[in-house]
């Protein structure tokens, strides 16, 4: 019998997978994605925007447990972040935190690309809800 190859933190986030899914239509949401299922990893983030900050984030992903755990954790870290400071750390930071094997590091780059796609699609002058611009 082989042991669990996931770190305790990765196992915790993978088992729980909080922040999964998407938001209902009609809400101020910015979505970004990267990767392809054919290559083993695809990640999409949905950011519910309140003015210039993320009110809440959700994710959808296809990939290994490390990919899903890191995406889940990141979605929880995005609330309160601004467009210009969206990424909490780097893929290297995430790899260390979740003890991601070096051969899976490219999957974290896909996650980073999905977040950068959100930044690219987020209008720089997003008005506060209910206020005229």
Q: Give the mean pLDDT per block of 10 residues along the chain (133 residues).
A: 77 96 96 96 97 95 97 98 95 97 96 97 67 44
- Specify the pLDDT at position 123: 86
Domains of the chain: 8-121 (3.90.1010.10)
Please, which residues have CB within 8 angstroms of residue 19's CB and are 6 or more apart in sequence?
57, 58, 59, 72, 75, 76
- Specify the pLDDT at position 3: 53
- Of residues 78, 43, 46, 49, the one with CA closest to residue 62: 43
- Of residues 80, 86, 76, the one with CA closest to residue 116: 86
8 Å CB contact between 42 and 63: yes
What is the arrangement of strands in the sheet containing 53-62, beginning at the earlier edge strand?
29-36, 41-50, 53-62
8 Å CB contact between 13 and 69: yes
pTM of the model: 0.89
- Specify the pLDDT at position 104: 95
- Specify the pLDDT at position 2: 46
- Specify the pLDDT at position 127: 53
């Amino acid at each position: 019998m082989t042991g669990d190859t996931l770190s305790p933190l990765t196992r915790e986030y993978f088992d729980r997978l909080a922040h999964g899914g998407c938001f209902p239509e009609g809400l101020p949401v910015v979505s970004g994605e990267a990767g392809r299922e054919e290559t083993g990893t695809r990640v999409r983030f949905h950011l519910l925007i309140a003015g210039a900050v993320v009110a809440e984030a959700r994710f959808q992903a296809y990939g290994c447990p490390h990919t899903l755990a890191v995406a889940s954790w990141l979605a929880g870290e995005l609330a309160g972040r601004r467009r210009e400071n969206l990424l909490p750390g780097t893929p290297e930071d995430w790899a260390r935190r979740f003890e991601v094997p070096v051969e899976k590091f490219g999957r974290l780059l896909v996650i980073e690309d999905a977040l950068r796609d959100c930044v690219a699609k987020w209008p720089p002058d997003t008005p506060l809800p209910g206020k005229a611009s």
